[in-house]
Amino acid sequence: MPYSDDIVKRARERLQSEREQNDRQCRARIEAVYDKTPRLREIDRQLRMTAAQVLAATFRSSGDPTAAMAKIRKENLALQQERDWLLQTECIDPADLEMTPICQCCGGTGYVGAQMCECLKELCRQEQKKELSALLGPERGEFDRFRLDYYPAEYSSAIGTSPRRLMERVYREAVNYAQKFSPSSPSLLFAGATGLGKTFLSSCIARTVADRGFSVRYAPISALMADCEEETFRQQGAHGKTDACLRCDLLIIDDLGTEMTTQFTVSTLYQILNTRLLEGRATIVSTNLPLDDLQVRYSAQIASRLLGTFILFQFYGDDIRFRISRKL
């Protein structure tokens, strides 16, 4: 569940603002009770001072602290009894005079010990959802919008079935992958020509997996490399985006092969793919490149990672974007 620093920062800011709002509401509720029964305000003020009085009595150098403590205890008890009597006669629920934390587990801090509390995790999930929606747009990312009828139903001897049949299987496996995703799920390679739905299906997986509370980073290869380059060469000490690529539960790299390939991109891509594989984190890579070109364009190591350890999903058919535009 390692969300990027940006997402955690935004989620914590939201939690803090919700906590402050909750505190304001609690204080207003308590003040309203005090305004109705001012003696309660006075009793509570005196009771709050008890701790300080006890401390003062303990450290007082002269006199007998035992007697002083007994006096404080007696006064305290009398105040408690008067308070209980007032609450009863005025029909006031004692809970109305308490500050109620926004979350019972963490008290609104977002952490239980070193662990992130469920309340903060939920805010991270919502922030990530917003980020993905902004990135993918409203059109992409919902499995039920995937149109199998855009794929030819005619038998193709090249694949031994029809593209529609094949894509039906790819679609089913993508849904299954997203619904059962766990951080140790296998990595996938989506290969095939432009416009066959690779980006669409990978964005559906991104949204579904993110909705299930996992951290997902989705980026076209060119944007991913631009972020890494920026952090490596121009922002000394910054590594938030690169770290997010390495640590997120699911990394989706779209459009491999469309970027300007340099020595930097090749070594960065290898570092990302290899680190994630070694640490058992899932990655989805989609590419328009013929598989034989991977070694030529990148390196034998990258090709062997992609072809040897990723599960290959080969996309076939006509360019469905052409079909969509023709139907409009």
Q: Select the span of 104-112, 142-150, 180-188, 227-235 touching Zn ion (CB under 5 A).
A: 104-112
The residue among 105 and 246 lying less far from Zn ion, judged by its C-beta, is 105
For strands 216-220 and 250-256, give the pairing.
parallel
- Least separation in angstroms between CB 18 and Zn ion: 11
Residue 107 backbone class (left: φ over 0; alpha: ψ -120 to 50; beta: rest): left
* Cα torsion angle, 285, 125, 141, 156, sign: positive
Residue from 103, 224, 284, 294 binding Zn ion (CB under 5 A):
103
Residues 6+ apart with CB under 8 A from 181: 205, 208, 209, 212, 214, 249, 250, 282
d(CA 1, CA 126): 13
Taking the complex as a whole, how short is the minimal distance between the CB of residue 211 and Zn ion, in angstroms? Answer: 20
Tokens of 81: 């009894």
Least Å distance, CB 116 to Zn ion, is 9
Q: Is 116 a binder of Zn ion (CB under 5 A)? A: no
**End-to-end Cα separation, the chain, in angstroms:** 41
Paired with 254 in beta bridges are 220
Please, which residue, 79 or 112, has the CB nearer to Zn ion? Answer: 112
Distance, in Å, from the CA atom of 84 to the CA atom of 93, rounded to the nearest integer, reads: 10
Judged by beta carbon, residue 120 or residue 178, the one nearer Zn ion is: 120
Instruction: Answer yes or no whether residue 225 interacts with Zn ion by CB under 5 A.
Output: no
Rg, Å, the chain Cα set:
30
In this chain, which of 11, 97, 106, 209 binds Zn ion, going by CB under 5 A?
Answer: 106
Burial of 144 (0-12, 13-18, 19+ CB in 10 A): exposed
Cβ closer to Zn ion: 15 or 196? 15
CB of 117 to Zn ion, least distance (A): 3
Measured between alpha carbons, how far is 75 from 68 in angstroms, rounded to an integer? 11
Residue type present at position 243: D
- Counting residues that bind Zn ion (by CB under 5 A) gives 5
| Interface region with Zn ion, contact rule CB under 5 A, candidates 32-40, 100-108, 159-167, 316-324 | 100-108
Complex with Zn ion: residue 12 or 217, whichever CB lies closer:
12
Q: Does 117 bind Zn ion (CB under 5 A)?
A: yes
Which of residues 103 and 285 has its CB atom nearest to Zn ion in the complex?
103
Figure out which of the listed residues 79, 105, 193, 291 binds Zn ion, where binding follows CB under 5 A: 105
Paired strand residues for 216: 250
Q: How far is CA 124 from CA 14, 105, 108, 174, 265, in A?
A: 10, 17, 14, 24, 30
Nearest to 218 by CA among 229, 206, 210, 208: 206
Which is nearer to Zn ion, 110 or 163 (by Cβ)? 110
Helix intervals (H) in 108-162:
118-136
Rounded to the nearest whole angstrom, what is the least distance from the CB of residue 22 to Zn ion in the complex?
Answer: 12
Which range in 113-121, 136-144, 228-236, 256-264 contacts Zn ion by CB under 5 A?
113-121
In the bound state with Zn ion, the residue whose beta carbon lies nearer, of 23 and 243, is 23
Rule CB under 5 A: which of 167-196 touch Zn ion? Answer: none
| The one among 7, 8, 11, 119 contacting Zn ion by CB under 5 A | 119
Q: Which residues contribute to the site for Zn ion (CB under 5 A)?
A: 103, 105-106, 117, 119
